[in-house]
């Protein structure tokens, strides 16, 4: 991985502030009470829920355990066709 710049440029401050707000917004949405069970598999311990947002979009959240390394997970989640 490349070197991380811990001294961001002033013009990036609005993005950093927005990220902080988005993390809080995500945490607020996860605990909402209108999530509906979508699919559960107790054998594999995979659980998922969906809900409609106030803007009419569909949201989904899932809970599962992944056996593997963080590096492997990041490779799959990143846009790398080798792992898709």
Q: What is the pLDDT of residues 6-46, one digit of tens each?
A: 787 888 888 888 888 888 888 999 999 999 999 999 998 89
Residue 44 located in a structural domain: yes
Residue 76 located in a structural domain: yes
Residue 14 located in a structural domain: no
Residue 3 located in a structural domain: no
For the question of whether the overall pTM of this predicted structure is more than 0.85, the answer is: no
Residue 47 located in a structural domain: yes
Strand order in the sheet with 36-41: 36-41, 46-52, 58-63
Residue 16 located in a structural domain: no
Q: Which domain covers residue 50, as residue numbers?
A: 33-84
Residue 52 located in a structural domain: yes
Domain count, the chain: 1
Listed residue (29, 64, 74) closest to 50, CA to CA:
29
Burial environment of residue 82 by CB neighbours within 10 A (0 to 12, 13 to 18, 19 or more): exposed
Give mean pLDDT, residues 60-69: 89
Residue 67 located in a structural domain: yes
Per-residue model confidence (pLDDT) at position 82: 66
Residue 44 has phi, psi (to 5 degrees) of: -90, -5
């Amino acid at each position: 991985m490349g070197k991380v710049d811990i001294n961001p440029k002033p013009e990036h401050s609005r993005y950093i502030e927005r990220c902080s707000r988005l993390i809080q917004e995500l945490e607020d949405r996860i605990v909402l009470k209108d999530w509906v069970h979508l699919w559960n598999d107790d054998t594999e311990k995979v659980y998922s829920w969906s809900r409609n947002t106030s803007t009419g979009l569909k949201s989904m959240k899932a809970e599962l355990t992944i056996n593997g390394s963080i590096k492997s997970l990041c490779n799959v989640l990143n846009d790398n066709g080798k792992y898709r």
